Amino acid sequence: MVLTIIYRLIIALVIALVGWNLFTEKKFTAQLTAAMVLIPLVLRALMIK
Amino acid sequence: MKEFFKKPIFPIITASVSLVLAIGIMVAAGVSFVKCWDVPMPIEGPNVTEVKMLSEWYDGLKDGPGDTPVYVLKGEGDGGAMLILGGTHGNEPSGYMSAVTFIETAIIENGTVYVIPYTNISSMTHNDPGEGNLQYFTLQTKSGERIFRFGSRATNPIHQWPDPDVYTHHPSGQQLSGSETRNINRAYPGREDGTLTEQIAFGIAELIRTEDVGITFDLHEASPEYPVINATVAHQDAMTIASEGCINLLLSGIDMALEQSPTNFHGLTHRELGDYTDTMAILMETANASQGRLRGGTSEEQVLGGVDDYYLYSESIGMLFVPWDENHHPIEERCGRHLQGIYEYTMAYNNAYPDKIVTYSGVPSYQELFLDADKEDLGGTQLGKFLR
């Protein structure tokens, strides 16, 4: 249980960093890549998949 | 126009568009995954006297993701108790569809039959990543179109996480690959303070011990390139019964191999339920094209019809452990084998234990499900005719 909470906190941190990257990156393809990376991270943070 | 793309606001717009697109995909995927958590249940047949939950035998499972329905079918006459385990592996549809068919058709004359259609119900709530499996398949039944789930071999990782590098079976100490920690057929006899998968296994062992279940069937499928297929595996205590039943299956035209459960392969029903309870533990396997490594793309036709032309070719070069021709292996043949197997082994059990008999009728036989079917009805239509 504690391990899962730590795991989800790490995911939340990575989501924040990827989100930061999405809005600071100038290149559209890099932005799109960051947005795609967010999909599995958010689904896992919400424990949906 | 060129000037617009150079404005500092442009990357913010493209980032926002990308985010909206990603959120759209997240919502669509999330809704699809969450829908899989709702596992369609059997419709209660003419002889379902009670629907209990496994937590009635082990309350540690109560209201959790491993608590699964147990259908109780009690006959009017005295007798023994029998347990049918479907859905040990969620990607083996003839296992749980045979259990569903039994629940919806059986009329018990003597004894009590416990049927668990989805033994590892958590495994029914997701699919194996990278397999391209179906989420659902449909059958036309007496009440119209019904949807059934196609699940995974193992417990959903959102319910049991993380997998160790090496899975050490309790109590034998046998070591297997880490992902087997979520395979309930490596978790028996289970333990109260173990993982979710071990707790479900413990609940089933408790049911067997509490209800004095004399004979237990665990219904499986295997890929056509797996050696133990169209086969029965029985604990050594059940070999006399299994031998008699197997001979009767062979006489009725069902080619069934019989193997004794290896004493050094732990965690499986046919080993541990035989060792840790007084039940006669029997496991059966049929041929499932949608599980194999040599298969083509997965489809409903493959899951229900067993249709896969790659297996026709594989057969021609001797890669398979089961005969394969243009008739393939439809769900009616696979469920028919399981249901006929249950019948013949139960008859053999009744001969050996006349004071604990379990007799029933109404369940479709191999002949009715498969041999008597029109060829165009194979692949789901014929099975659907028996479902409510």
End-to-end CA distance of chain A: 17
Q: Do the beta carbons of residue B85 and residue B188 sit within 8 Å? A: no
Total residue length of chain B: 388
Per the structure, the count of domains in chain A is: 1
pTM for the full predicted model: 0.95
List B86's β-bridge partners, or say none: none
Q: Do the beta carbons of residue B215 and residue B111 sit within 8 Å? A: no
CB-based contact, B77 to chain A, within 8 Å: no
Q: Which residues in chain B touch residue A47, judged by CB atoms under 8 angstroms apart?
A: 158
Predicted-complex ipTM score? 0.94
How many CB pairs (< 8 A) connect A and B?
A: 52
Nearest chain A residue to B156, by CA: A49
Q: Which of B261, B236, B267 is nearest to B174 (CA)?
A: B267
Question: Token digits for B232?
Answer: 């029965």
CB-based contact, A46 to chain B, within 8 Å: yes
pLDDT value at residue B155:
98
Q: Which residues in chain A touch residue B29, judged by CB atoms under 8 angstroms apart?
A: 39, 43, 49
pLDDT value at residue B5:
60
Q: Which residues in chain B touch residue A7, judged by CB atoms under 8 angstroms apart?
A: 161-162
Task: Measure Cα distances from B249 to A7, A30, B141, B150 in Å.
Answer: 52, 62, 28, 29
**SS3 state at B24:** helix
Name the DSSP letter for residue B262. P
Q: Which residues in chain B touch residue A38, judged by CB atoms under 8 angstroms apart?
A: 19, 22, 26
pLDDT value at residue B6:
65
Interchain CB distance below 8 Å, B26 and A28 = no
d(CA B346, CA B286): 19
Q: What is the pLDDT along chain B (388 residues), one digit of tens a residue?
A: 566 566 678 889 999 999 999 999 999 999 999 999 999 999 999 999 999 999 999 999 999 999 999 999 999 999 999 999 999 999 999 999 999 999 999 999 999 999 999 999 999 999 988 898 999 999 999 999 999 999 999 999 999 989 999 999 999 999 999 999 999 999 999 999 999 999 999 999 999 999 999 999 999 999 999 888 999 999 999 999 999 999 999 998 999 999 999 999 999 999 999 999 999 999 999 999 999 999 998 999 999 999 999 999 999 999 898 899 888 999 999 999 999 999 999 999 999 999 999 999 999 999 999 999 999 999 999 999 999 9
Considering only the beta carbons, identify the residue of B18, B126, B161 that sits closest to A32: B18
pLDDT value at residue B1:
56
List B149's β-bridge partners, or say none: B136
Residue with tokens 């194999």: B292
The domain of A13 spans 2-45
Question: Token digits for B269?
Answer: 């029903």
Helices B239-251, B331-352: inter-axial angle, 10-degree rounding: 130
